Amino acid sequence: MSRHLAVFGMQWGDEGKGKIVDYLARSAAAVCRFQGGDNAGHTLVVDGRRIALHLIPSGVLQPDVRCFIGAGVALAPDVLIGEIDTLGQQGFDLGGRLGVSRNCALVLDIHRRIDAAADRRAGIGTTGRGIGPAYEDRIARRGILLGNMFEPDFRSRLGQLYEYHNFRLTDYYGEAAADVEEQYRTCRQAAEYLNQYITDVSGALESIDSAGGGILFEGAQGAMLDVVRGTWPYVTSSNTLPAAISFGAGFDFRRIDCVVGIAKAYATRVGEGPFATEQDGEIGRRLSERGHEVGTTTGRPRRCGWLDAGALKSGARLSGVDAIVLTKLDVLDGFDEILVSLGCDADGAPQYETLPGWDGEVAGVRRWEDLPAGARRFIEHLENLTEVPLQMISTGPERGHTIVRVNPWEG
Ligand code: GDP
Ligand code: IMO
Ligand code: MG
């Protein structure tokens, strides 16, 4: 019987989802993205080589794994083409393995222009990738889907969309208008290039399931960036929780056997918004340096702080998390004391528990028995706090720096 996994971030993104999806994809027939766009940045490290992915599922480095981009994804054709080309240059051939839904909302140049202009006023600290404005267009039913690029009225639809957004850009934001002709030309070229990848993603997933193949659904961003459940308005513009798989991939999420939540052993956040456990002094600096906390997509430094176990527990309940993968535990090597928040009081102040650090190193450890005893106690304590088993632990950026206590495909 085939099993299907959902992998999603439980914090504010950048939990190390890409690394874990790459690892778990070795047992998958397919990996599918179902929301978000190239605001996501997933770094994989294999034999010392770093590969950054934004739109293509993180299963792509595993040969023979099929990769799908579902209708819930906001798709920038230029970014996708660039990514396919870069992977090709790095020796990863996608031939026949990539399928993209024709119902993805298109992200165009003008969306990036609007994103930047709007964020200068709103101060969310977006990635500037045009994701919010592209989803806005979808919800407002004026946007353009990937499949519309192949239809005869594409030029006129694009014209109408540019007319609308150029009005916003010039009259409201006081900026220069964007050039629709240039966008039309690049869309025509992109359509020609991407035609070969257009797939009925929902149907393809159904066939893989029927044939007994396991499917891994790869979430982007994280639970606390969810547009409804997150720290609104400091959120992204999509639903980031596994429930979004149903409409974003066209696959009933109740058929998923194991929901895997990825959590960093501490917390980070890029952009603005509340972050109760943030540490802006020496501790924050140390976490940032040891964890190399710089954004994959924008190069911005990530804000750092302590883990909020209370938020993990309620997030796990909300999304039916069966297993947690704890990443970047090695970053806490050398700390004498590690703080963990149990949640916030009525004034929003975190209620901390102080735990001892451990002697010895977690970095690079591959087996549970080889972890320092103190680190094992730390993990077991987090299991008690969150009431979810911590089935895997990541001890470094490399694929092999991974401890599997229970394989989510099996248990
Ligand atoms: P994602 O967006 O959730 O896929 O995470 P990112 O790739 O944006 O950020 C995670 C960063 O941490 C990447 O640079 C990874 O290579 C790195 N990383 C992942 N797991 C570990 C780990 O266990 N230890 C360390 N030190 N780095 C890790
Ligand atoms: P991955 O998949 C971390 C954040 C931005 C900003 C907010 C809104 O790599 O974990 P947006 O451009 O989406 O409108 O920005 O969301 N954000 C992320 N932060 N990781 C991500 O993706 C993110 N995608 C968006 O920094 O605060
Ligand atoms: Mg990231």
Ligand showing the shortest atom-to-Cα distance for residue 118? 2
Q: Which atom of ligand 1 is nearest to the CA of 290?
A: 26
Sequence-separated (6 or more) residues with CB below 8 Å from residue 103: 71, 145, 146, 147
Q: Which atom of ligand 2 is nearest to the CA of 15?
A: 10
The catalytic residue among 4, 22, 38, 42 is: 42
Token match 């044939």: residue? 211
Between the CA of residue 176 and those of 116, 170, 173, what are the distances in Å?
Answer: 13, 6, 9
Which sign, positive or negative, has the C-alpha torsion 112, 32, 396, 400? negative
Token match 């509340």: residue? 274
Please indicate, yes or no, whether residues 283 and 315 belong to a single structural domain of this protein: yes
The residue among 131, 159, 194 that closes a domain is 194
Please indicate, yes or no, whether residues 57 and 19 belong to a single structural domain of this protein: yes
Q: What is the pLDDT of residue 250?
A: 98
Per-residue pLDDT of the chain (411 residues; tens, 9 = 90+): 469 999 999 999 999 999 999 999 999 999 999 999 999 999 999 999 999 999 999 999 999 999 999 999 999 999 999 999 999 999 998 989 999 999 999 999 999 999 999 999 999 999 999 999 999 999 999 999 999 999 999 999 999 999 999 999 999 999 999 999 999 999 999 999 999 999 999 999 999 999 999 999 999 999 999 999 999 999 999 999 999 999 999 999 999 999 999 999 999 999 999 999 999 999 999 999 999 999 877 888 999 999 999 999 999 999 999 999 999 999 999 999 999 999 999 998 999 999 999 999 999 999 999 999 999 999 999 999 999 999 999 999 999 999 999 999 997
The catalytic residue among 4, 14, 137, 308 is: 14
Which sign, positive or negative, has the C-alpha torsion 201, 209, 250, 83? negative
Ligand showing the shortest atom-to-Cα distance for residue 264? 1
**138: domain CATH number?**
1.10.300.10
Which sign, positive or negative, has the C-alpha torsion 51, 70, 5, 309? positive
Q: Which atom of ligand 1 is nearest to the CA of 395?
A: 23
Please indicate, yes or no, whether residues 304 and 387 belong to a single structural domain of this protein: yes
8 A C-beta contact, residue 33 and residue 220: yes
Centroid of ligand 1 to alpha carbon of 303 (angstroms): 15
Mutate to test the pocket of ligand 2, among 8, 19, 53, 126 (most ligand atoms within 8 A of CB): 126
**238: domain CATH number?**
3.40.440.10
Centroid of ligand 1 to alpha carbon of 210 (angstroms): 34
| Six-digit token string for 348 | 């929003």
Please indicate, yes or no, whether residues 188 and 210 belong to a single structural domain of this protein: no
The residue among 168, 194, 220 that closes a domain is 194
Task: Note whether residue 100 is domain-resident.
Answer: no
Token match 């994804």: residue? 73
Ligand 2 site, CB within 6 A: 9, 12-14, 39-42, 124-127, 129, 131-132, 220-222, 225, 236-237, 270-271, 296
Sequence-separated (6 or more) residues with CB below 8 Å from residue 249: 32, 34, 68, 70, 71, 72, 201, 202, 205, 217
Q: What is the pLDDT of residue 145?
A: 98
Mutate to test the pocket of ligand 2, among 127, 135, 278, 302 (most ligand atoms within 8 A of CB): 127
Please indicate, yes or no, whether residues 148 and 214 belong to a single structural domain of this protein: no
Which of the 8 DSSP states describes residue 241?
A: S
Answer yes or no: 38 catalytic.
no
Q: What is the pLDDT of residue 296?
A: 76
CA atoms within 13 A on the CB side of 201: 32
Ligand showing the shortest atom-to-Cα distance for residue 33? 2
The residue among 139, 159, 194 that closes a domain is 194
| Six-digit token string for 391 | 């089935």
Q: What span, in angstroms and rounded, lies between the C-alpha atoms of 132 and 140?
A: 12
* Domain that includes residue 117, residue range: 105-194
Answer yes or no: 209 catalytic.
no
Q: What is the pLDDT of residue 2?
A: 62
Task: Note whether residue 175 is domain-resident.
Answer: yes
Please indicate, yes or no, whether residues 275 and 222 belong to a single structural domain of this protein: yes
Q: What is the pLDDT of residue 95?
A: 81
The structural domain count of the chain equals: 2
Q: What span, in angstroms and rounded, lies between the C-alpha atoms of 273 and 78?
A: 30
